[in-house]
Structures are given as structure tokens and as C-alpha cells.
Structure 1
């Protein structure tokens, strides 16, 4: 929610309206089976995981008239989990950010730099330039 409420996203002022619209779509999708009015849970949350996923697929499908809003919201939600874009990575890791933990991100070394014993491609991408300083900056 922090990332969604961040004014840099450009959607922070519209979150209440997006939540209202999403719950309205959920009520329609649920019919009489789930998300009855006056329930303890918001209609979207009351849907089963499969029905929530189906609704999101429908809202983000090409041709849906509100697609651009739902795709944007989905992208920011994904970004919040995958990268904690609104936080400094080291701070997010220290706080136990679930998405970064799920990806296996580790805390930086004591000097604040990340070093990995294994390269992501299984080999160095290039030889270290001889003028590179210990901090990693070019000479």
C-alpha cells in the first residue's frame, strides 16, 4: 500500500475510486455466490483466489474499456512486491521485505555494496578494468 499511496505513481489520488470500481466488478462477478452485500470482507477479497485471478485477467485483457487503469494498478502491485521500488533496497531487506526475500536477495556487505560469490550468468560478464578503485568506481 505504501507504494500505491506514493504520489510518484500518479495513481495515489485515485485509489479509493479504483477500490470502489474493483469491488463493484467483484460483486458482478460473484453474483449471489460470494461477496454478498454487507459481508465482513470487501467483495474482491471475498472472492476465491481462482475467481479473483479470473476477474483480474478479464479486467486486464485487451479490449476491456478500463484495461489501462487495471494494468497500471497490477504493475504497481507487482512492483511493490518484486522490487520495493519505494524503499531503499538495503532498508527493505533489513525490514524483511517478502518479495525481495522470496527472490533470494541478501543484505549488502558491511560497506554497503553487494557482492555475489556466483555471477548470475555463471561467469563474469567482463574483465575488471585495471583502473577500477576498491569502491568499484572508475579511475
Structure 2
């Protein structure tokens, strides 16, 4: 490998991972290495999340993790905020080298459902809550990328 290619490889950014955290299921989306495109990755049982993240971080360079920050319409924390805050604390202990940032997740589930309708998914497919969680995480991540790139 030429030294120029080696330098480019070492300057490569890490991925950004987005988490739509739920009591039962968690949707996950991720960017490419250049942090340009958000893609749905998976939905998994929330109880498996920390172990899944450990395995993922061993395989992929992740620069930042975004987690949905649930707020009510008036900006106050929602009922699920304590659950998410507890996860964030566990995350910081388990992965102190990975930055985690809360992002507004209001309307992402509704937007995910409309995305499913607009993409032509049949009613039975639109009832797949795991898919809604994954699309919600993707919407959060794409919104973050759009705001970051417009700064």
C-alpha cells in the first residue's frame, strides 16, 4: 500500500450509529464510513442491545452514537425518558470511548409509517413494528446528517 493510500485510510471517519430505543425493541441505523448516507441496519430485542453493540464496535469503527431523546410536544421529557437515561448511563460505562448524543425523535414513528405507505408496502408489512423502529432510527440519523452538513 502506498503511503498516500495509507494516510487516507487512517484519516477515514468512523460511522455514526442511531438508536431508536424502546422498552421491548430497538431500531438501529448507521452511516457509511464517509457519513453521507443513513441506512437502516436492524431491529433487535432491547435486552440484547449492549451485547450487540459490543460485537458491532469490535468490527466497525463508530465515531458517534445518536439516541432518540423522547420529548413531549411542549419540550418536556416523555414518560420513556428515565428508561433511555438509564440505558445512556450503562452505555457510557460500557463504551467510554464512544461519544453518545441525544437527538429529538418526535414524529419519527409517524414519519416512518408514512414512508412505508409511500414506498408501497402492503398493510400487513406496515404493521411490522420492528421495521417502523428501524426506519425511525434511519430518519433520526438522516435528519442529523442533514443538519450537520448544513452548518
TM-score by length of 1: 0.23
- Structure with the higher strand share, 1 or 2: 2
Higher relative contact order (CA 8 A, sep 6+): 2
